[in-house]
Amino acid sequence: MAARHDQTTDPQLLDSLLQARRGTAFFARKLNELSDSDLDGPSLLPGWTRRHVTAHIGYNARAIARLIEWAATGVETPMYASTEIRDHEINFGATLPPIALRHLFDHSAVHLNVEWRDLPEEAWHHLVKTAQGRTVPAEETVWMRTREVWTHAVDLDNGATFADIPVPVLARLLKDITSAWATRGTDTGLQVLVTDQQPELKLGDAGADAPVLISGPLAGVLRWATGRGTDGVTASQSGAALGAVPAAPKWI
């Protein structure tokens, strides 16, 4: 019989798993607060209804479960066969009856959790490939899922905000985003200042002469950095406030 507790004993990984599970529970709560007809309403993501967001989170769990099966068996199973198939799957999922859509979310989350729970300690280091083609150890899937469930709970647009997301998740996500900008060189002349953390956190183009400085609390900066609005952040250059906050560079 399968064990009822995590096979890994790595405290850091167990902590990450807790963050992913809490995020899943948070998404479930926001989803369950929505009536069936609310699901037809728009999400914060352009062109996507709440149905699309829910379908995406469900299929994302299945895709990540495939990576865990890969790590467990050594048999290569990609997250998605192709980007087209991924998008098609989400569009199809969005048309499911509400009960089926809710089951998709619930069952896929339980399945992924079982895959994680039963993955032997040493298999967490086995290498798998993300949808973007990055080769990562299986333990990275926990973070991949964590950022999906927390940010897309906000996208359901029924009350969740970035301020609901735990600080360690926000901080890691901001690091992900700013390093994606740095890798692509899209952050030239741009700096980000997080004002509500001790010590203050400054990221972005460190060598810029007169950088555009975006500042605000961590939650506001994340909201801006993920392209979800400019509330709670201000922009300045050489000490002078800018009238409008520029859009953040793309990161995904």
* Consecutive H or E run containing 142: helix 140-155
Binding-residue total with Zn ion (CB under 5 A): 1
Give me the count of residues in the chain: 252
Q: Considering beta carbons, is residue 115 or 148 the nearer one to Zn ion?
A: 148
Least gap, CB of 8 to Zn ion (angstroms): 25
Q: Considering beta carbons, is residue 126 or 147 the nearer one to Zn ion?
A: 147
| C-alpha to C-alpha distance for 17 and 32, rounded to whole angstroms | 22
Least gap, CB of 25 to Zn ion (angstroms): 18
Binding mask 118-157 for Zn ion (x = CB under 5 A): ------------------------------x---------
Least gap, CB of 148 to Zn ion (angstroms): 5
Q: Considering beta carbons, is residue 8 or 54 the nearer one to Zn ion?
A: 54
R_g of the chain, CA atoms, integer Å: 19
| C-alpha to C-alpha distance for 114 and 232, rounded to whole angstroms | 39
Q: Considering beta carbons, is residue 8 or 146 the nearer one to Zn ion?
A: 146
What are the residues facing 128 on neighbouring strands? 136
Give the pairing of strands 190-194 and 135-137.
Answer: unpaired
Number of residue whose CB is nearest Zn ion:
148
Least gap, CB of 252 to Zn ion (angstroms): 8
- CB distance 141 to 70 below 8 Å: no
Least gap, CB of 157 to Zn ion (angstroms): 15
- CB distance 37 to 28 below 8 Å: no
Which residues of the shown chain bind Zn ion in the complex (CB under 5 A)? 148
